[in-house]
Amino acid sequence: MIKRKLDRYVQVLNNIDDDQDKYLWIMDFGKNSKPMEDENRTRYFEVAGCQSQTWLVPHFIDDKIYFTADSAALISKGMVCIIADVYSGSTAQDINDFDQREFEKMNLNTLLTPGRNNGVNSMLKKIKYYATE
């Protein structure tokens, strides 16, 4: 399920020719994502290593984990919301078994600044952290 969701985003981004348009699509995705409850914007849910304040909140329902996400910057919000969507509804085992290098198919290293790429890696680490709790 994780791979299928990720591949959907890869396909969307690959169908956009211009890098600036990809950047705008990611920001629009973040703008249009469900807002996060203010009480979840805490240090505990903050993603360390992001250039702007970014939060990733797990919700454990039965044996699955769902995520909500937000960020003070639109590009970070778009990326963290994509990542949250890709992993939402998965089991901890599925998350731990998934090879996060699959995200390289999004070609973010050419689209985002090195600082933003580090932030994405921090978001992915936070997902793995929640899956091992």
Query: Which tens digit of pLDDT belongs to each residue from 102-129?
Result: 998 988 877 777 778 888 999 999 999 9
81 is catalytic: no
Give per-residue pLDDT as tens, 15-67.
Answer: 999 989 999 999 999 999 988 999 999 999 999 988 899 999 999 999 999 99
The pLDDT, as a whole number, for residue 59 is 96
pLDDT in tens, 79-91: 999 999 999 999 9
Cα gap 50→118, rounded to integer Å? 7
2, 26, 36, 50: which one is catalytic?
Answer: 50
* Residue 27, H or E segment: helix 19-31
Q: How many CB atoms lie within 10 A of CB 86?
A: 25
What's the token pair of residue 49?
């290593």
Pinpoint the alpha helices (H) of 32-113. Answer: 74-87, 92-97, 108-111
For 21, residues 6+ apart whose C-beta sits below 8 A from its C-beta are none
3-state secondary structure of 53: coil
Structure tokens at 70: 């937000």
pLDDT, residue 112, reads: 78
**φ and ψ at residue 26, rounded to 5 degrees:** -65, -45
Confidence label for 99 from pLDDT (cuts 50, 70 and 90): very high
- pTM, whole model, 2 decimals? 0.93
- The values of phi and psi at residue 17, to 5°, are -75, -45
Tokens of 37: 């409850």
